[in-house]
Amino acid sequence: MLKLSTKGRYGVKAMFDLAQHMGEGPISLKSIAERQGISEHYLEQLVSGLRKAGLVKSVRGAQGGYLLGKEPDKIRVGDIIRVLEGPIAPTDCVSEEDPEICAKAEYCVTRTIWEKVRDSIADVLDSITLENMLEDAKRIESERSLYMFYI
């Protein structure tokens, strides 16, 4: 089963949380952890990689915390996943960065399948920005409000 680890899933949640609270100043990891149901210690590990990649900025001090490193429309879900999970690849032989070439690579029929799977996943993850997620959240909340109104 092709499956993202908690690193990728929680990293996207944390980045989305920062996008939702953009404009409120630096956001503490404690508040993200509480809202998203993620261990603060685990978030520290994730944010470290995201900071090194320039996707988040840290602000020190009493009122410190984290901010998005770029505008939400410039951060793709694929960027977050690659930082936290590494290159997108359903198998090692079709890794985005450094594919393991086996002796059968030139005539391997299944390799083309895995390349298509990799490209499809990358296309989807790279087509969604944090801004798209914010828009989806607003739409869902609006639909939920309408639904609650009619109950």
Considering the four listed CATH numbers 1.10.645.10, 1.20.1250.20, 1.10.10.10, 3.40.47.10, the one that applies to the domain covering 6-150 is: 1.10.10.10
Question: Does the structure show a pLDDT above 70 at 147?
Answer: no
List, for residues 89-138, the tens digit of each pLDDT value.
888 888 888 777 777 777 788 888 989 999 999 999 999 999 999 999 99
Label residue 73 by pLDDT band (50, 70, 90): very high
Residue 90's Cα: distance from chain center in Å? 17
pTM for this one?
0.87
H-type alpha helices, the chain:
6-20, 29-36, 40-52, 77-85, 109-127, 130-150
